[in-house]
Amino acid sequence: MGVCILCRRLFRNNHALQCGFCTAGMITSLYAFLTENPERNEEEIREAISGNICRCTGYQGIVLAAKEAASKMAKDRN
């Protein structure tokens, strides 16, 4: 499964979308970030998306989706 599809699916599963305004930027940022190296921690993930503002979710669902994507990608990589 492609990284972008995985991120979109996990955003939906973790309720990381509300209005959809920031979603494209979040997924694009995470795609580039996790493709480079999926073995990331929460602090690194939060830093990677810090340039995107989300006023709806409080970032919790977004970070959960990103952590789950990173975990799946790291597992698939090994």
Spatial distance between the Cα atoms of 36 and 32, rounded to a whole number of angstroms: 6
pLDDT score for 17: 86
Note the pLDDT of residue 1: 58
* 2-17 residues labelled b (16+ CB within 10 A) or e (exposed): ebeebbbebbeebebb
Kindly state the helix (H) or strand (E) to which residue 32 belongs, with its residue range: helix 23-36
- What pLDDT does 38 receive? 93
CATH superfamily, region 3-77:
[2Fe-2S]-binding domain (1.10.150.120)
Residue that the structure tokens 């979603």 belong to: 23
Task: Give the pLDDT confidence score for residue 57 in this predicted structure.
Answer: 76
pLDDT in tens, 42-56: 999 999 999 999 988
pTM of structure? 0.87
Q: What is the pLDDT of residues 3-37, one digit of tens each?
A: 678 888 999 999 888 888 999 999 999 999 999 99
